[in-house]
Structure 1
């Protein structure tokens, strides 16, 4: 406290020439003695002076603490601090001395600024700027001293050596070496278990931040903004894509039909088969399938089997011994399947002049009854 008072009064003595200089400025005739700008500048200069005095006292105390801790460097460190403070005070005093010279040179200037002579106004501004520089310098010195008081040179060297040996993955995850765990040890003690204040891995932390940004963008695009498709729209689009893929597959695989996988065609396929039948088969079997040179195709009797697979095989390969040619080189497998489907559709129709029956009776195979299912049905009825 005594050192603070000492430095405070020392600052007042240093600033007295400046205050006297401002007071010597006699106002011109008709001007008021009360100048708010001058009073504000003087108050600001006084506040900065108090700040300088307080910082000076604190710097002295920090210098003493640093001297007590680092006695080997006591002489150089403390002398440097005191020399800096002395230079700052000398510069401040010298600047105040120069005020009188500038004032003498500027008394001839009739120009005023904010109610003050031009030179005196800028002199006050210069004093305040100098005080700000001094305060900033003192704060920087205080920061340096505090850093020196907290630092441990031997630990820094050890940390530097350890850091050079830390693998990339540990550095990528910001892993603290075991030798430095004491620095991040928390005060918590749970039955002898100590807790470390480890930081999150940078990749995880920034990935989490990015996920938050992506979530907001997603919510805006698909919900709030209404620019993205809804779940229903996406479902409809997927179904349409599936239908298109199915149609493309069927169009591509339509000709991959043989006697093993041929199936009964739909109404359009049967109609197409009818037109092909009239072109290729009506000469031997009649336009209505009643038979002519070839057998009747409307009854239940067949020479070479009456299933859709058997009919497809007969149309595809023919029966040379009975005068029926092979149509596999004239029509595609899809067209052959359409012809076979039309022939099967003639079953039970009434041709105009049906030919007599030929071959063996063919009955469509039905699913064999399941004894186990019948037994369960009987039990349920009982």
Structure 2
């Protein structure tokens, strides 16, 4: 049994080494110039979730494999001729190779972020699927072994379990049966209470061991080798990425100013404007423009003017003294034009709970829409 357990441990160590090799490569830089710290910071929450699920399933495979070998030995004083080692090795090596290949592939492809995320998710789901197959196989093997009769007295309660869950539960707790408590009674007593010399349950001890292992890995990863970013570094990487995305978005956005803006009357622009309004503006001006902290947007009274240019200007630069946020660093000029155009459509909608008018009466001027401007543009 010990020989085969060492064999399984050897497969495990080999798999972990294979999984870590691509990360060693990433410690320098990948084809996109990213270090491992930056690569880790760019993983999406769903990717981290799947990675942790895979790690947990990896632990389940190791435990079930060890339990199956122990069960075979305790029940028949024999192991399974290396079958369990091979099953566990498949799970370990497959996990390691998939993790390694997926990490290295993502490091070298230079693919767009969305495509890279999709490939990573597919690879992680593939890993988890294979791990589940291995777990189901081990589970079935344990169930089959439990059903086999035993023709000798047993001193381990879990051997008498009829279900896999029952056997695992008894093996993880190893509590002494009530009938045998006299065997673990200590000699001393206090106020009529006697103490049992029970061992700590295996699940508790393994949990403690795992925390020690985790702390060592965490210390080495974050503070010794510094292959992963700390919280502030993650924040700085995320901010830099957001700034780059914003710059790219602004570079492709039309150059619209308060002097050139026109009312965007297309259904698509107004729908986008509505979404932007609900997300960013409704908290102060109400879901229907009825007003709240800020003034209502549905009547003919405006504090800073009610033309499309006025609304665009106020949205862009804000009104700090009245608590109006400048949106020029958050929204693109096109988005400001879209939300300003949507605000214009709220006029005379008469929502419930409308706030009292504020500002001066605005007499609408004849404004050129986006479609009308296109018609008036010279041809040729």
- Would you call these one fold, judging by a TM-score over 0.5? no
Task: Report the TM-score when normalising by structure 2.
Answer: 0.29
Task: Report the TM-score when normalising by structure 1.
Answer: 0.29
Larger radius of gyration: 1
